């Protein structure tokens, strides 16, 4: 089973890019983030024509998450992260696909920091860790896939000081990610590529794509029940270089 995560950065604007990639890469499961489309604006007919079923939670203007499943329909199990009574942002969706629980998440950016947006990011991380711990206790095969908006270590960002004040690399952000992984999750891409940067995001500004000035923000975490099945994985970098591309590239893994 091939599972990918892709921050599409406006699913309707990037639909031609998405459809080309689906046809070429043929992932079995895709987690999409930053749909930037209300629920009724999600291009389900074109997704279905490409051979995929889908569940999604849209949001007008920003956010939005979806799970696509090749030649099948994902079984929706959850449309929000528990514990956020007043949180109406579309950042989490969960479904069962092929006997695996697929969680698609879009963690808050957190900028500017310090401030309310950074506090929201850390609280969202806290809620994610609580929910993730419950999934682990059930000994389920689970993938937590998405844009975590964290570059976990210095290896996950190009050599620079220009991001030093950014929420993506703050010690508290990195500590939150590390404590989540320490529950027993396997960071699949880093496990397969321990010494390569494996960037998944290149900002549109300052010629960062051409300079390969990237960050690794998109991660696939595997539960202990699933980690032994990890076979291959990587990043489809060339997608970032296409006309009209998202500022992210898909990260993917293959499970035996």
Q: Domain residues of the chain, as ranges?
A: 2-255
Q: Is the peptide bond before 114 cis (omega within 30 degrees of 0)?
A: yes
**Which CATH fold would you assign to the domain 2-255?**
Deoxyribonuclease I; Chain A (3.60.10)
User: Residues 253, 186: contact at Cβ < 8 Å?
Assistant: no
Strand partners, 7: 33
For the chain, the 3-state helix, strand and coil shares in percent, each to the nearest 5, are: 30, 25, 45
What pLDDT score was predicted for residue 184? 98
Predicted confidence pLDDT, tens digits, the chain (256 residues): 999 999 999 999 999 999 999 999 999 999 999 999 999 999 999 999 999 999 999 999 899 999 999 999 999 999 999 999 899 999 999 999 999 999 999 999 999 999 999 999 999 999 999 999 999 999 999 999 999 999 999 999 999 999 999 999 999 999 999 999 999 999 999 999 999 999 999 999 999 999 999 999 999 999 999 999 999 999 999 999 999 999 999 999 999 9
Residue 64 vs residues 38, 108, 177, 225: alpha-carbon distances, Å:
8, 12, 21, 28
Residue tagged 């995001």 (tokens): 201
| CA 194 – CA 11 distance, rounded (Å) | 31
What pLDDT score was predicted for residue 85? 87
What pLDDT score was predicted for residue 18? 98
What pLDDT score was predicted for residue 78? 97
Which residues contact residue 4 at a Cβ distance below 8 angstroms, ignoring those fewer than 6 apart?
25, 27, 29, 30, 31, 145, 236, 250, 251, 252, 253
Tokens of residue 251, six digits: 């990260």
Pairing status of strand 2-7 against strand 29-33: parallel
Which residues contact residue 169 at a Cβ distance below 8 angstroms, ignoring those fewer than 6 apart?
150, 151, 157, 163
User: Residues 106, 65: contact at Cβ < 8 Å?
Assistant: yes
Tokens of residue 11, six digits: 């699913």
What pLDDT score was predicted for residue 146? 98
Which residues contact residue 153 at a Cβ distance below 8 angstroms, ignoring those fewer than 6 apart?
174
What pLDDT score was predicted for residue 19? 98
């Amino acid at each position: 089973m091939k599972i990918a995560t892709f921050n599409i950065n406006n699913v309707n604007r990037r639909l031609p890019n998405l459809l080309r990639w689906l046809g070429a890469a043929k992932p079995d499961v895709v987690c999409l983030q930053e749909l930037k489309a209300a629920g009724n604006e999600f291009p389900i007919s074109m997704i279905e024509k490409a051979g995929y079923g889908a569940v999604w939670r849209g949001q007008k203007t920003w956010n939005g998450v979806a799970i696509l499943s090749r030649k099948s329909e994902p079984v929706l199990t959850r449309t929000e992260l528990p514990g956020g009574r007043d949180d109406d942002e579309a950042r989490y969706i969960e479904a069962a696909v092929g006997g695996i629980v697929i969680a698609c998440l879009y963690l808050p950016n957190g900028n500017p920091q310090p401030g309310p947006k950074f506090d929201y990011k850390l609280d969202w991380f806290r809620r994610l860790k609580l929910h993730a711990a419950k999934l682990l206790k059930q000994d389920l095969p689970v993938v937590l896939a998405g844009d975590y908006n964290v570059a976990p270590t210095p290896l996950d960002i190009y050599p620079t000081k220009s991001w030093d004040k950014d929420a993506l690399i703050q010690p508290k952000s990195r500590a939150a990610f590390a404590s989540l992984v320490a529950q027993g999750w396997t960071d699949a891409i880093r496990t397969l590529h321990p010494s390569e940067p494996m960037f998944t995001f290149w900002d549109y500004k300052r010629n960062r794509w051409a300079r390969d000035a990237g960050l690794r923000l998109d991660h696939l975490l595997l539960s202990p029940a699933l980690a032994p099945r990890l076979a291959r994985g990587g990043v489809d970098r060339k997608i970032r270089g296409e006309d009209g591309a998202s500022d992210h590239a898909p990260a993917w893994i293959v499970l035996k």
